[in-house]
A and B are shown apart, each in its own frame.
Chain A
Amino acid sequence: MQTPSVSQASPPKRSFLYDPNVRGIFYQTLLVVVVIYLFYMAATNAIENLRRAKIASGFGFLENTAGFDISQTLITYSAAGSTYGEAFVVGLLNTLVVSAIGIVFATILGFLIGIARLSSNWMVRKVSMVYVELLRNIPLLLQLLFWYIAVLGPLPQPRNSVEMGAGFFLNSRGLFMPRPIYASDIWVLLTAIAVGVVGSLAFRTWARRQQAQTGRQYPVGLVTLGLVLGLPVAVWLVLAVAGANPISFDMPRKGTFNLQGGMQILPEFVALLIGLVTYTAAFIAEVVRAGILAVSKGQSEAAGSLGLRPGQTLRLVVIPQAMRVIVPPLTSQYLNLTKNSSLAVAIGYPDLVQVFMGTVLNQTGQAIEVVVITMGVYLTISLLTSFVMNIYNRRVAIVER
Chain B
Amino acid sequence: MSTVVDTFRFVRNQQVEALPPPNLARGPIAWIRENLFSGPFNTILTLVVLYLLYVIIPPIVDFVFVNAVWTGTDRDACRAETAGHPVGACWAFVIDKINYFVYGSYPVTERWRVNIFFALLALGVVWLLWLRAPRRDLGAIYFFWLFPILSYILLTGGDADFSNGFWLGFIVLSALIVAGFGAAARFLNAPVKPAVLIGAGIVAVIGITLALLEADWGLQPVPTALWGGILVTLLVATVGIVFSLPFGILLALGRRSKLPIVRMASVIFIEFVRGVPLITVLIMANTMLPLFLPGDMTVDRLARPLIGVAFFASAYMAEVVRGGLQAMPKGQYEGAMSLGLNYPQMMILIILPQALRIVIPGIVNTFIGLFKDTSLVAIVGIFDLIKTIEASRIDPNWAAPTISYTGYAFAALFYFVFCWGMSRYSLGVERRLATGHKH
Chain A contacts to B: CB under 8 angstroms: 15, 17-18, 24, 27-28, 31-32, 35, 41-42, 45-46, 48-50, 52, 119-124, 127, 133-134, 136-142, 145-146, 149-150, 153, 339-340, 342-343, 345-346, 353, 357, 361, 367-368, 371, 374-375, 378-379, 382-383
Give the contacting residue for B284; candidates A45, A149, A346, A371; CB below 8 A. A371
Nearest A-chain residue to B42, judged by Cβ: A121
Q: Mark B192-208, 1 if CB is under 8 A from A, else 0.
A: 00000000000000000
Q: Mark B246-275, 1 if CB is under 8 A from A, else 0.
A: 000000000000111110010000011011
Whether B355 sits at the interface, judged by CB under 8 Å, is no
Give the contacting residue for B288; candidates A27, A41, A371; CB below 8 A. A371
Whether B64 sits at the interface, judged by CB under 8 Å, is no
Interface size on B, residues (CB 8 A): 57
A-B contact number at CB 8 A: 153
Q: Establish whether residues A383 and B275, one from each chain, have CB atoms under 8 Å apart when the complex forms.
A: yes
**Can you give 8 contacting A-B residue pairs, CB < 8 Å?**
A28-B259, A28-B261, A28-B262, A46-B292, A134-B416, A146-B412, A361-B283, A382-B274
Q: Establish whether residues B262 and A121, one from each chain, have CB atoms under 8 Å apart when the complex forms.
A: no
Q: Establish whether residues B188 and A18, one from each chain, have CB atoms under 8 Å apart when the complex forms.
A: yes
- Among B16-24, B152-160, B163-171, B368-376, the one that faces the other chain is B368-376
Q: Establish whether residues A371 and B35, one from each chain, have CB atoms under 8 Å apart when the complex forms.
A: no
Roughly how many angstroms separate A361 CA and B288 CA in the complex, as a whole number?
11
Q: Establish whether residues B46 and A124, one from each chain, have CB atoms under 8 Å apart when the complex forms.
A: yes
Instruction: Tell whether A137 pairs with B415 under 8 Å between CB atoms, given A15-B189, A27-B259, A149-B404.
Output: yes
Main secondary structure of the interface of A (DSSP, over half): helix
Q: Establish whether residues B283 and A353, one from each chain, have CB atoms under 8 Å apart when the complex forms.
A: yes
Give the contacting residue for B423; candidates A137, A353, A368; CB below 8 A. A137
Not counting A48-B295, A123-B45, a sample of 13 additional A-B residue pairs whose C-beta atoms are within 8 angstroms of each other reads A15-B189, A31-B265, A45-B291, A127-B53, A133-B420, A134-B416, A136-B419, A139-B415, A142-B408, A150-B408, A357-B283, A367-B288, A375-B276
Roughly how many angstroms separate A103 CA and B274 CA in the complex, as a whole number?
19
Q: Please give, as numbers and ranges, the residues of chain B lying within 8 Å of A150 by CB-CB distance.
A: 404-405, 408
Chain B contacts to A: CB under 8 angstroms: 35-36, 38, 42, 45-46, 49-50, 52-53, 187-189, 258-262, 265, 271-272, 274-280, 283-284, 287-288, 290-295, 368, 372-373, 375-376, 378-379, 386, 390, 404-405, 408, 411-412, 415-416, 419-420, 423
Roughly how many angstroms separate A134 CA and B420 CA in the complex, as a whole number?
9
Q: Establish whether residues A339 and B277, one from each chain, have CB atoms under 8 Å apart when the complex forms.
A: yes
Instruction: Tell whether A27 pairs with B408 under 8 Å between CB atoms, given A45-B291, A50-B291, A138-B415.
Output: no
Q: Establish whether residues A123 and B50, one from each chain, have CB atoms under 8 Å apart when the complex forms.
A: yes
Give the contacting residue for A142; candidates B38, B274, B375; CB below 8 A. B375
Instruction: Tell whether A139 pairs with B375 under 8 Å between CB atoms, given A378-B275, A379-B272.
Output: yes
Q: Please give, as numbers and ranges, the residues of chain A lying within 8 Å of B52 by CB-CB distance.
A: 127
Instruction: Tell whether A342 pairs with B295 under 8 Å between CB atoms, given A133-B420, A142-B386, A142-B408.
Output: no
Q: Please give, as numbers and ranges, the residues of chain B lying within 8 Å of A120 by CB-CB distance.
A: 35, 38, 42
Roughly how many angstroms separate A31 CA and B263 CA in the complex, as a whole number?
11
Residue of A123, A149, A345 with highest tally of chain B CB at under 10 A: A123
